[in-house]
């Protein structure tokens, strides 16, 4: 494996603000970055078609399994693009039974402090060159979309979403932000389908409330395309669903938990459409157990549980994870541990084969 060697020096202490002081540094507006890195008419049409394909799965009009797969986070755009270049032909091979969407996560939530993702600190050195990070994130998403792959990300900072939301076919709202009114308002105005994760405790009620909120139109504080403060008005997003990721009490992808979540959605008047995040608490934070979780989801689908419409996998070129340090191994996650590519390809190929077999 090749090595990536990031600088480890932090921004100079002399540039840090004093206690009680806040400094600002201008960034390009979302409109400016979109003009610098525009989408061709053909690519816009492709993304529109990809969004519609995902909506069809959510509506039960397409019985393929939606699979959101890719690195836990993007820290090396070259490795991410290589992953995409491997995933695209696999989609062509398995596309009759699976719709593969690539995770391109450029923001990472932190429990306390730590590296916040490509959009914040693209050089992994504490310099926090957000202008460069936003440009790198948009360019990478565009390159991946041009390979014919739908792009997915988790939206963490609502102000960052405007820089690349036109490239997204699927969006996650994480367990820590599903309860946030700001993220629900944001989701109500997105053109992509949105998956709300259950809360960190494992409770699905907050995600169901988020789906109900996002389905309605909102007027909320925001910025316009020029970066000026604005009132934003949205129409509501009917293309949302629940993502089961487990919780502090353990996994929630088992038969009883899935049935309970389906009933809760139906009682709330929502379409019972569920995605299972095979990582996090569902795998008990052991990346290798994602294989077992996916097999359990497939077993339930093949036994007639039609509410299970998708899965999410954390997968990179090579297995495991590594701490930020010097040097970095190429294609290995610097956040959560991931499955390696070979395991991922075998797993998805087997999943498609099982789903095909059920049709005969």
How would you classify the pairing of strands 229-233 and 308-314?
unpaired
Residue 128 predicted with pLDDT over 50: yes
As a whole number, the mean pLDDT across the chain is 94
Among 27-36, 104-113, 122-131, 284-293, which is the least confidently predicted range? 104-113
Confidence of residue 10 (pLDDT cuts 50, 70, 90): very low
Confidence of residue 79 (pLDDT cuts 50, 70, 90): very high
**Angle, CA of 345, 347 and 352, to the nearest 5°:** 95
What's the rounded mean pLDDT across residues 170-183? Answer: 96
List the structure tokens of 18: 């004093």
List the structure tokens of 73: 């986070």
Look at the block and give the residue holding tokens 């398995």. Answer: 94
List the structure tokens of 217: 């139109």
Over residues 183-239, the pLDDT tens digits come to: 999 999 999 999 999 999 999 999 999 999 999 999 999 998 888 999 999 999 999
Which of 249, 248, 241, 344 lies closest to 291 in space, CA to CA? 344
Residue 74 predicted with pLDDT over 60: yes
How would you classify the pairing of strands 308-314 and 65-70?
parallel
Confidence of residue 175 (pLDDT cuts 50, 70, 90): very high
Verdict on whether the full-model pTM lies above 0.75: yes
Q: How far is CA 279 from CA 22, 94, 189, 315, 352, in A?
A: 38, 22, 28, 10, 20
Q: What is the set of domains in the chain, with CATH numbers? A: 43-359 (3.20.20.70)
**153 neighbors 195 (Cβ within 8 angstroms):** no
CA 238, distance to chain mean position in Å, is 18
**Angle, CA of 155, 156 and 157, to the nearest 5°:** 105
């Amino acid at each position: 494996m090749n090595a990536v060697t990031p600088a480890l020096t932090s921004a100079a202490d002399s540039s840090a603000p004093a206690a009680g002081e806040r400094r600002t540094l201008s960034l390009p507006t979302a409109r400016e970055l979109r003009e610098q890195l525009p989408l061709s008419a053909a690519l816009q049409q492709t993304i529109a078609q990809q969004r519609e394909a995902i909506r069809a799965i959510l509506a039960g009009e397409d019985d393929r399994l939606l699979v959101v797969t890719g690195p836990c986070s993007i820290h090396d755009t070259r490795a991410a693009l290589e992953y995409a270049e491997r995933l695209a032909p696999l989609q062509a091979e398995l596309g009759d039974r699976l719709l593969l969407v690539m995770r391109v996560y450029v923001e990472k939530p932190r429990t306390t402090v730590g590296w916040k993702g490509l959009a914040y600190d693209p050089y992994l050195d504490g310099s926090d060159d957000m202008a460069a990070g936003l440009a790198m994130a948009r360019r990478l998403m565009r390159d991946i979309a041009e390979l014919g792959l739908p792009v997915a990300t988790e939206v963490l900072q609502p102000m960052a979403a405007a820089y690349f939301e036109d490239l997204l076919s699927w969006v996650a709202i994480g367990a820590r932000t599903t309860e946030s009114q700001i993220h629900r308002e944001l989701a109500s105005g997105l053109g992509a389908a949105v998956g709300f994760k259950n809360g960190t405790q494992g409770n699905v009620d907050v995600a169901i409330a988020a789906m109900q909120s996002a389905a309605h139109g909102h007027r909320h504080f925001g910025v316009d395309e020029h970066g000026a403060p604005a009132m934003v008005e949205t129409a509501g997003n009917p293309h949302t669903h629940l993502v089961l990721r487990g919780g502090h009490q353990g996994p929630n992808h088992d038969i009883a938990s899935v049935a309970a979540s389906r009933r809760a959605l139906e009682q709330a008047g929502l379409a019972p459409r569920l995605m299972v995040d095979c990582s996090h608490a569902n795998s008990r934070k052991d990346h290798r157990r994602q294989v077992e979780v996916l097999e359990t989801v497939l077993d339930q689908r093949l036994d007639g549980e039609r509410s299970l419409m998708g899965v999410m996998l954390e997968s990179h070129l090579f297995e495991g994870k590594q701490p930020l340090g010097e040097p970095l191994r190429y294609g290995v996650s610097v956040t959560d541990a991931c499955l390696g590519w070979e395991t991922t390809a075998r797993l998805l190929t087997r999943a498609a084969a099982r789903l095909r077999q059920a049709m005969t």
